[in-house]
Chains A and B, each alone.
Chain A
């Protein structure tokens, strides 16, 4: 059975709440069957609105949403057969774990034996067998979260939506739940649409990530590409850490351009600049700049250490470089560690291919 690459389709969807501002603008998004796609963005970027439109709690102002080729804009939520995990879990507090899981099956008039079997299976999937008779209030946050996931999956929906499901958990639990949800997705192959504002969560879990800002998808690609090759300065800023230089293109050819900064020039990789004279923001990942590089690199500068912060697995070094005192370096803490001292001058180098000249901020 071939996977449908347009299993869920947002077709030119606009959404406005007040008739004045569009919170979602001309959204065009295809989600493949069995894919784990994450909508990532700052709050107010329209990602949750998209999820709510897919779930059926909001209607698009314009455009259509298709599920497996059928227009679903006029189908009420309870007939869409889409599972959903809510931000605060939304477990029914007056029902036991079993009754919570049985709810979607009971409303579908599933036989009692079948319900027992499915609830059993779903609970063992989230490793909560034996918790059937507990009330949600008797469970820890992580356990409630698992019950919510199990409940969204127990009726075998084609698509599961997750609206910042891990937001209320502490850091360690959040990380282990990320892997757990990812494994569940891999083992049952359901299509997952996941909404979060946490970029590391998105990078860890997703097949593809749609970065939302200002009601638009800024970039839609797999995690590696999103991190390594951001297409604009918003994505570069939003995903991971970033050193930026604002300047003007003074020379450009196919894969290199020269950018003039306040009082120096650097070589960069022209991504969204086309011609001389354009303003640009050059983005460079902190781990791509090396101290005392042994290889030949086409950008070599000397900076002065302003601050050294020990982070356990790595050390963050803030430099005064090229007129900016916000240049960040990440130095792995290995046995051959360098002596890094404040006010020391060090040599820094990076390849022009890693310095991406993007649209100006």
Chain B
């Protein structure tokens, strides 16, 4: 027993364990230094922007910083059914005066107006009173402000100011799902005819799902052919599959526009063979059909390649074994071949689905009104309305959605079952 517990020493008397750790430490540092550039790159280009996006999407510190005294005083406002006490009015007045000096009072008015309609008018009135020095600080500020406009006497408006107190808000996320915080603080849905985002989310999911489905049904036989053909034919076929990869995405989308438009090649062909009348050419672009066709073609290689790499590893003798043991070709396929391709199917479908769910250029060009996706909406807010925080919120919702799908997939199939090659 004693020999087991005795510490083993190296020849120069240092305990073996210490010596081993020392030796391994060097290797660990070396390994870390090798991956450090990539790590740094990922932090700068990925983790940091996502963090920044998140901060942007929930950031609501503007009002918090503008009205520090108001919110301090509001802590003493207990009965929310009645107008706030004098301290709150005084705090608000003092904060507002500072803003007027800094000429930032307009921003506050706009921001509060978003929270509750009608604020713009009454803050402007307050501004004018302050400019004319009409407000006497020695008597009750509350009574003087209440006299400026009847809305100042409405508790709803004071509650709206109170709601802007927290430095963070979920309002952008709620807006992304066509919901908002009502004046009583509860979450309400926007009117039915204004629910555009929910339609977009559903359409994005629907298009991503069907594009994945179409690519699977088209990609599976191609991948099988690639994996089983003799080398000289399979190389040629492989080039055909990969050719789209070597062409710019824009060029491919543009060529689909040429093919699919009403006076385009496909329609001309349909008319030529008499499938449709010349005056009755179907619209295949600027709608879902265009998005489906173009996206399926563009994403097909992402389905074929993982499938191919998995199928390549399946020995042809397995199918033969299945047949020689009495399985019909279909049974041999379904019971033997197909289950072995599931890792490839999983990888391909996940890849195509995730790419499709965030697809942007193709739907923007061929999608028209009914074929655009959530990413087009995000881009719209980035470039046109400049509401970056809303764009960030939707981007993060998309990211969360993808992670949830990944999680579900992991639960159902297991991520270690994915094989990309």
Contact = CB atoms under 8 A, between A and B. Distances in A.
A84 B323 CA distance: 10
Contact of B324 (A55, A87, A91, A92): A55
Given A78-B332, A93-B340, A94-B339, A104 B325 contact: yes
Chain B interface mostly: helix
A91 B340 CA distance: 12
Interface in B274-329: 315, 317-318, 320-329
Given A78-B332, A107-B331, A90 B323 contact: no
Nearest to B319: A90
B317 A107 contact: no
A103 B317 contact: no
B135 to A, nearest CB: 82
B238 to A, nearest CB: 24
A83 interface: yes
B379 interface: no
Given A92-B318, A103-B335, A107-B331, A155 B325 contact: yes
A233 B318 CA distance: 39
B329 A78 contact: yes
B326 A86 contact: no
Interface residues of A, number: 28
Nearest to B337: A92
A172 to B, nearest CB: 26
B321 to A, nearest CB: 4
B327 A90 contact: no
A229 B328 CA distance: 46
A96 interface: no
A345 to B, nearest CB: 56
Contacts of B340: 93-94
B420 interface: no
Contacts of A63: none
A73 B255 CA distance: 51
B335 A90 contact: no
A81 interface: yes
Contact of A90 (B321, B326, B328): B321
B399 interface: no
A103 B326 CA distance: 9
Contacts of B317: 86-88, 90
22 contacts: A55-B320, A56-B324, A57-B320, A57-B324, A77-B323, A77-B324, A78-B324, A78-B325, A78-B328, A82-B324, A83-B324, A84-B321, A90-B315, A90-B318, A92-B318, A94-B339, A103-B335, A104-B325, A107-B326, A107-B328, A151-B325, A152-B325
Interface of B: 315, 317-318, 320-329, 331-332, 335-336, 339-340
Interface of A: 55-57, 76-84, 86-88, 90-94, 103-104, 107-108, 151-152, 155, 161
